[in-house]
Structures are given as C-alpha cells and as structure tokens.
Amino acid sequence: VNVEQLKEIYESARIKPAVVQVESHPYLPETELLEFCKEKGIIFLAFAPLGHGIRPGLLENPVIVEIAESIQKTPAQVLLAWAVQRGTALLT
C-alpha cells in the first residue's frame, strides 16, 4: 500500500486502519507513509527489515558494515535498530 491508497482508505473508512504492513528497510524507507501513519496513530509494521532478497544485500552494504564494526554490532543489529529508532514495529 502506498500513502495515497492509505489516505483514501483512511478518509473513507468508518473503522480506521490500526496497522499497515509494508516492506521497509534503508533501501525502501517508505518515509512519507511512515509519517502519515505516525500522524494518524496507525502502527507501521515493517516486514523484510534486513532486505528482501536484494543483491547486493543490506547485510553486505559497506556503509552498514562500517557502522556495525564501529559500534561492535552485527549488520543485522544495525538494521533492526534503524527500524526501531524510526518508530516502526518489525516483522523479520
């Protein structure tokens, strides 16, 4: 679902959506949709926060690997922390 579709649903629904499940990770941040969800109190449930079969993958991304090494964490931990710090719920 994109932000325009969600706006249409939200505006026309008698019972407002409580959760939106969408693929989201640093390659696909869905920032506009996330902000709309925050404004309306809708839970943004991010699936595939470690990437979704993307090659080269997020776990091998040089920037993410460098961040992970600098804070002594794994690339997966960096990606999950990124999602949580944005205010999303996660589905791995």
- pLDDT by 10-residue block (mean), the chain, 92 residues: 96 97 95 98 96 86 97 98 97 88
Q: For residues 68 and 52, give the distance between their C-alpha atoms in angstroms, rounded to a whole number.
A: 20
Residue from 47, 56, 52, 55 nearest 83 by CA: 47
Q: What's the total number of domains in the chain?
A: 1
Q: Which residues, including other chains, have CB under 8 Å from residue 62's CB and lie 6 or more apart?
A: none
pLDDT in tens, 30-52: 999 999 999 999 999 999 999 87
In this predicted structure, what is the pLDDT of residue 55? 80
- Structural domain span for residue 65: 3-91
